[in-house]
Amino acid sequence: MSDHVDLLAIAAHRDDVELTCGGTLAKAVRVGHRVGIVDLTQGESATRGDAATRAAEAVRAAAVLGVHLRLNAEFPDAHVQNDEASREKLVELIRRTKPRLVILPYPVGRHPDHRVASELGRDACFLAGLAKYGKAAEPHRPFKVVYALAYREDPVKPSFVVDISDTFEAKMQAIRCYASQFDGAKAAGEIFPTGQDLYELIRVQSAHYGSLIRRPYGEPFFMHETIVVDDVLELGVQSF
């Protein structure tokens, strides 16, 4: 039971989920959901910091967010592949954690690992539900997959934005745990440099997404399915 979660965020590198959906994870924890993270790589190819440093940073960041579980698939950094061995390993982790909802990276990205992680993650979510696929573990298919859309410049409108105003400080505190990566940095992951400090860039971007739902801070997501509404009068976000 201890490894079961309601929400699982899968991403290529330690620090990816903090950057793209850290506020959402912290918020899910606060309302009582069990939340887990699977980092696909250990960060050994990063320009800054080494794998051991990043491992310690990831543990501290997970504690700040309050997540219950943080696993590592130990795929080679900068060489993430959507191949049979990788799918089998990830299927194993999905069956072990049994999430209802999975957050994946957006399918487009600067870093090839981000793009591959997105496709690999989706394929593994499907395959995990096939009774005869992989090693003898109980099949489990997540109910839903959504994609973290933060910082993307593609002309894709978010399907929804999570209000992270109450957990924005926790998100920033978690990001600051990665001092080896970010102290003095002007860019990271999918965040392009503007000359401003990285932490300020993240605040500005989060405020922009918040403005889309008329709140101080937000994190945007994309999904292929359509959102259901039971009572149209409950629709939020004013038009004028």
Interface contacts to Zn ion, rule CB under 5 A = 12-13, 16, 189
**Contacts by residues 45-51 (CB-CB < 8 Å, ≥ 24 positions apart):** 45/76, 45/77, 45/78, 45/79, 46/13, 46/77, 46/181, 48/180, 48/181, 48/185, 49/178, 49/180, 49/181, 50/180
Q: Which residue is nearest to Zn ion (CB)?
A: 13
Q: State the nearest-atom distance from the C-beta of 75 to Zn ion, in Å.
A: 12
By residue count, the chain amounts to 240
Least distance to Zn ion, CB of residue 40, Å: 9
Whichever of 106 and 168 has its CB closer to Zn ion, that residue is 106
Q: Which is nearer to Zn ion, 189 or 220 (CB)?
A: 189
Write down the least CB distance from residue 44 to Zn ion, Å.
13
Q: Which is nearer to Zn ion, 142 or 189 (CB)?
A: 189
CA-atom Rg of the chain in angstroms: 17
Q: How far is the CB of 16 from Zn ion (least distance, A)?
A: 4
Alpha-carbon span 189 to 155, nearest angstrom: 19
The residue among 77 and 163 lying less far from Zn ion, judged by its C-beta, is 77
